[in-house]
Structure 1
Amino acid sequence: MTNAVADDREFTFSADDYAFLAKLLKEKTGIDLGPSKQNMVYARLAKRLRKLHIPSFRAYCDFIASPEGIDELGATLNALTTNLTKFFRENHHFEHLAGQALSEIRTRSTTQGRRLRIWSAGCSSGEEPYSIAITLRQSMPDLAQWDAKILATDIDTEMVRRGNEGVYSTESAEGVPADIRDKCFEPHGPGKVRVRQELRQLIAFKHLNLMSHWPMKGPFDLIFCRNVVIYFDKDTQRVLFDRYANLLVPGGFLYIGHSENLFGITERFKLLGRNIHRKIA
C-alpha cells in the first residue's frame, strides 16, 4: 500500500501516509477516519507542511513520530478534529434546558442546595457553552443566587483558546435572538463582538481528550455531547456514554447530536425525544 493518493498534488501523499495518520488519530483521540477522508486530511495538513517547509507527508509523519515533533503532534490533532458549530444550534435542546430541565433542577434545589453544573463536551470554539450561558441568564432571574458553573472542553487547544476569549464575528452572533443580542455581546473592534463578562465568568474552558483521564468529579446536572461521537466506533461510544452516565446526577439529562443515537450502545439512558436522554441507571 504505497501508491500516492493523487499524483498531481503539491506534496506526495501515499496510502501508507494516510494509514499512519488515521491510526495516530484513532489512538490519540478515538476518532475513526475510515477510508474516505484522504482529501480532507491532505487539505488540512498540507498547510502544516508548507509552514514547516517539510517536503512530503512521509517526512511529516516521521517528524511527528519523533521526540522533536511532540509539539507538532498537537497541531496535527488540532487540524484533523472537526470544528463546526454555531450559536443555538439544534435550538430545541436549549428550549428543553430552559423549560423542563431547569424546572426539575429548581425542584431538587430545595433539598440539595442551589447548585447547577453543566458540561459542554466537545465545545469547539465556544458557541455551544455560551448558548447555554445565555439560556441560563434568560431563564433564571435569580441566577446570581445560584452556584452555577459550565465546564467547556475540547481536544483542540486553539478552539479552547478562542472560546475562552469569547470574540466572534458580528455575523456569527446573528444566531442569537435579536431581542437579547445586545444584552449578551459588546462591540470588540471592526466586525467583531465579545460575549459580556457576566456570561464569560460562568464558563471554564479546558483542554480535554475524551479518551484520556477526566479530572473532574461531577456530578453534572446536564451534559451536552453533540456531533462528537459520530467520529467514534461503537466500542468507543459504549465506553464514553458509560462514563457520562457515571458523572450525571440521577435523572440528569444528556443531549446528543441529530445524527447520533444510543441504540445498541447503552441502556443507562431513556430517550425523551429529539436526541434528549435522561439517565435511568
Structure 2
Amino acid sequence: MATAVCLRGTEVAHESRDHMNDEEFELLRGLVSREIGIVLKGAKRSILTTKVAQRLGVLKLATYQDYCSFIVSDQAREELYLLASHITNNETYFFRETQQLDSFGNLLRDIKAEKQKMGSNVIRILSLGSSTGEEAYTMNIILHESGLFVWDWDIKITGIDIDRNALRKAADAVYSQNSFRMVSEEDDRVRKNFTREHNQFVLKRHLTRNVGFRQGNLLTKEAYAGLENTDVVFCRNVLIYMNDDAIKKIAGNLHGVLSDRGYLFVGASESLIEKTKLFCPETLYGTTVYRKKVPALPGA
C-alpha cells in the first residue's frame, strides 16, 4: 500500500455527505489515480458521491477528506478494493475480439511444440481485469476445442481483478444472455459448453476446474505472486482506463511474470509502443502480440 497522503495542507470545505464539491472530487480522483491507476472521468462523480457517502456513515467518518486519509492507511486495503468495485468497468462478454482469439488458438500449437522441446507439460495463462470471467473461460474453451492437450498436461488459467463481486460471479460461472452478445445462444459453442437453465447459461464444470480467480491491484507486485513463467497474458481493454504511470507499473509487473518466450495480448485499441520499452510488438497470425525484451547473453 502506498504511503499515506498528507491532506492537512489542503483543507477541503465539506458541505454535506450528499454533495461532493469540486475540491473533494479532485481529491478522490487523485487518490484513485495514485492507488489504482484509473483515470476517473467526471461522469463517475455522481456514482462516487453516492457510494462514498454511504461508506462515510458505515465507517463513522465525517468528511470525504477523512475518507481519503483512511483509505490509504495500511489497514484499509479492503476499503480501497470496495471503492474500486464502484468505478471499474466490468464490460465483458464471451468470444470478444475474435481475431485475437483466433491468433491465440494458432499460438497454442507453437506453445505446445516449444514445451515439448523443453520437456515440460506446464502451461500458465493469465487474464488481467478478468471481471466476471468471460475472457478466462473463453480461453479455456479454445484450449479444449484445439484438441492439442490431453489429460497429462498441467494447464492453469488465472484471472485477476480488483472487484470482489465480479470475482464471485466468475467463480459461479453462471451467465445471462448479455454475456453472449457476439454469438447466438444457438451457436454450437454455446450449446456445447453451457447448460441452459431458464434464462441463464451455466458453464459446464469440466471447463471451470483449471480456472481460478484472485483479487488484486494490478499496480502491485503482490497481485502476481506465484505466477512466474506465465506463457500467455491477456490484458485487454484495461490499459485504456489507466494513467501512464500505472501502465508502466503494470508493464513492469508483467515483464516479471511472463516467460521469456511468452505472449502478451492487449486490446485492439491499445498500444504499448509509446508507453514502455519492456516489450516489442510482433505480428503473429494476423494480430499484434507483444513479446518481452530479454537482455542479451554476455558475448552474444
TM-score by length of 1: 0.84
Aligned letter for 1:229? L
Aligned letter for 2:263? F
Alignment of 1:15 onto 2:19: no
Point out where structure 1 has 5 or more consecutive residues left out of the alignment. 5-9
What is the rounded CA distance, in whole Å, between the counterparts of 1:114 and 1:176 in structure 2? 32
Aligned structure 1 segments of 4 or more residues deviating by more than 4 angstroms: 1-4, 50-54, 67-73
What residue in structure 2 maps to residue 252 of structure 1?
262
Aligned letter for 2:191? D
What is the rounded CA distance, in whole Å, between the counterparts of 1:60 and 1:235 in structure 2? 25
Task: Pick closer, same or farther for the CA change 1:270–1:186 going to 2, 3 Å.
Answer: same
SS in 1 for 2:260: strand
Q: Once the 2 structures are TM-superposed, how far is the Cα of residue 264 of structure 1 from its aligned partner?
A: 2.4
Match of 1:183 among 171, 176, 192: 192
Task: Pick closer, same or farther for the CA change 1:50–1:243 going to 2, 3 Å.
Answer: closer
State how many pairs are aligned. Answer: 271
C-alpha contact (below 8 Å) 1:261/1:275 kept by paired residues: no
TM-score by length of 2: 0.79
Residues 175-213 of structure 1: per-residue CA shift (max 9 Å, x gap):
45711212211134x311111111111211100111122
Task: Pick closer, same or farther for the CA change 1:106–1:74 going to 2, 3 Å.
Answer: closer
Task: Pick closer, same or farther for the CA change 1:40–1:160 going to 2, 3 Å.
Answer: same
| Paired-residue identity, % | 27
What residue in structure 1 maps to residue 124 of structure 2?
117
What residue in structure 1 maps to residue 210 of structure 2?
202
Match of 2:93 among 86, 93, 109: 86
What residue in structure 2 maps to residue 62 of structure 1?
66
SS in 2 for 1:145: coil
Q: Once the 2 structures are TM-superposed, how far is the Cα of residue 11 of structure 1 from its aligned partner?
A: 3.1
SS in 2 for 1:134: helix
Q: Once the 2 structures are TM-superposed, how far is the Cα of residue 41 of structure 1 from its aligned partner?
A: 2.8
C-alpha contact (below 8 Å) 1:185/1:193 kept by paired residues: yes
**Which sits farther off after the overlay, 41-50 or 83-92?**
41-50
C-alpha contact (below 8 Å) 1:223/1:255 kept by paired residues: yes
Coordinate RMSD, CA, aligned:
3.0
Point out where structure 2 has 5 or more consecutive residues left out of the alignment. 1-9, 295-300
Q: Once the 2 structures are TM-superposed, how far is the Cα of residue 156 of structure 1 from its aligned partner?
A: 0.9
Match of 1:221 among 187, 206, 231: 231
